[in-house]
Structure 1
């Protein structure tokens, strides 16, 4: 039992000095005072106080109920003169029939001289009669702020008037109960808070330690710090000062423990720093330290929290090294390396841009794209950015291609040059595009060479068309002349020579036409397009008729011009020509008749 301040507590009760002459009352107050002096208060102590009070006041039954705000009930915590099995353990605070609940709500005591004759609810009278109670007293227990925090209930089996002389004693007992209840509540709250803090500290992802001085020693380390350094808690708490110092890297011990001393003396407030430590197995790690001086037990100590930043530091160093290498590569590359944000503002461009455009990197970064790109190229860039962002949403970042772009730049001197641009998105941690990384290469000479090639090709095709046309006309003339010779002189020997000449000339015409067609196929200039089969047939008929002037070719069709449209290339006319040419050549009659019919299938196409 603690006796410090005991006399002050005794003198705090009303009329305590006068009650020293009443041994029974004084014994009750002594028990109360002893309870106030204890911190390990128990339920039995409450019951002991109640029993002493019953003895002093010559009563039979006593109960103590405490308000449970969380559950809104009056909870039975102690009883004297009756077993708890005979009582209701919890009474709702809003129970209108319960007298203890009524006292709790109003804060006023209740005295019943003869409870069994009172106009009480039947359920209450049944309990009173079962316990053979006649006189009842309900006394409120108030907290320091005047709020009712409990109720003392005293009962007697005899009918007696309320003892006015006991009011002061009841007041003293109620005050004592109030002080004990509130203190126990604070102790419970403190323990709960302490348990919560301990749980947080013991399960923290940071290392936590408290180090005291004189001598230097650890007084607390949490499990995380043990796992970080590889020591057990017992090993930490039994370390000697020199062993603690060896945890800090030799190059940093002097400033580290100098700062530790300043924290102990209160010369500096909370601080953050970076320190190298050596683990139990000899590994050197980088830690971030937050430290502050605190009052601990009877002296001063330093509270420190530690975060292992070794991997983060290594990653940062690797990133910086990688960035330096790539920057060196970008700044010495012939191609122009650039970074453009999604608002089309240049964030970075390599020095090689100056040799390409005449503008310095600083000028490029501080100018809009229209300064060094044509308006068509700027519009195309904007379109491609929007297209790519839309495709990102529709098919994902791997679902589409970003082919190179050919753009035109404007040199400082006003001349224009062509560049080929390849690009990709720079992404954040969630994979979302934040900027565009690209490379630009000068392709002006390639574009000029392509233009020259196209011009040369066009010239060659022009001459080829002229040559093919003139050769065809010459050969057609030869064939016509041979046909006339054959009419005038049909002798066997001369006729055979004429037939041979006609065959060779026909093959020459076919060869010239096919060479022209093959050239068109190779350069892709022949494609399917809507044509009128009637018109194709008419042209083929005219060509064949010119080749056989001694014969009359008559072609009849079952369809009119413009009635049908088919998708075909220029070889359709060659098909008609070959069919009509063979029919005319091998028909012995001078009158050659060919009938062509058409049948529509599907929509408006002809097969």
Structure 2
């Protein structure tokens, strides 16, 4: 937290040494209702977050949510110090009053502050809270606008997820800059190192030297959603034992920083089982019954001749029903045709198919995604007698992959395409425009005075407004157009194949006009406008950076002229 102070600004001082503003009586307190006006004061009173105003360290006004959160009456909080709603110390051991004093002073010096820690109700019941402090100057006086959110449940959830990770039967870790930051007990047990030994160690130190480059390459691809399937490699434990491992990694934000969440699955037994299958026909059948993956054998007509218990569970039939069943009985016509083609290819070439995905229909009629391998079986004379392979239930993994893929390319709040998907679509449109000598337009749409609504009504209303704006904008566009949220209250539009620059202006005019209608959100009627900048390819730029920059310039020109309008970049010179 930044602790810089400006000596020309008032500061919060302890009660034993009050500043002039602190010694003011109730009659001299700033009249917040008069300053905000009736309409804004009504919104302030009905906000879902606790909102109060500080003059010095005194609370000069608050909304109903504040009284509810602190379990107090207006008489108990108005013109009283915020100190009475602080526990003696924060979780890190620091003095609560000293910490809040520093936060208030920094906010009064002009820097918005954010505090996350413990507050206390009137009955000394402590709860977790997140508080934002923003300095305002009203009638020549410095006051603080404070928004409080109870995050007790959020903190409980964090502890819950941490306990899940600790009790998980899968090895779980978190990396920052390639080094372990968190490891659960199962991971420690698997690699043989303690948590103290692992924290700060490079993750590559426990990977077999021959596998490090491959692991690094596959991890990068998985983080970029270019390789959605887990990858396998050898781990070297503290004792020097080599274990086969399957790993999945995903990018996360942890404690406000981008980090990597990974899990280790011990597949050593499975790898050893696969090796045993290759070495001994007699030994493998007993081993197969004890592995997690399904194993099956088919005759040349596609009938089940052998399968292990895992395979039976995947298909959902009992042994008597599955024995002799043909593939057409648990697949639709199209999928069965795909399997027949694969069988013919393996039969003709003799080359196994290591991995192929199919959709089957279980006994209960539920469709399920499985992954199979398929290889040709021959008798001692070398004559083909059937097929065999492994089957794995990947239904949950497929659903997870689809969820992760959507999260990677869409904004979680509005479900609109994000910057990554917008860039991909723009590259496709640009390539087509270059080939066909066509135009397309990029629009930058920025909401006017959104921060005022977000700060005064709270982030819940702000989020609902962004969602409503996204819905309204989508209704104005063609199916071929792309609307993306780039962050904050900034949206971008991609209009492919326009005939002339005025086509983009027609769309912009429709958008500006649509914002004349208010947004009704939780009984609030909100009026918001938009400033739009337009850049057209190739007139205003021949790559994304140039088009975005020029659309930005045009949009800010609208802001300068009073907002609530649009501006084409090519008309700025006129």
TM-score by length of 1: 0.28
Which structure is higher in helix share?
A: 1
State the structure with more CA Rg.
1
Which structure is higher in strand share?
A: 2
Higher relative CO (CA 8 A, sep ≥ 6), structure 1 or 2? Answer: 2
TM-score by length of 2: 0.30
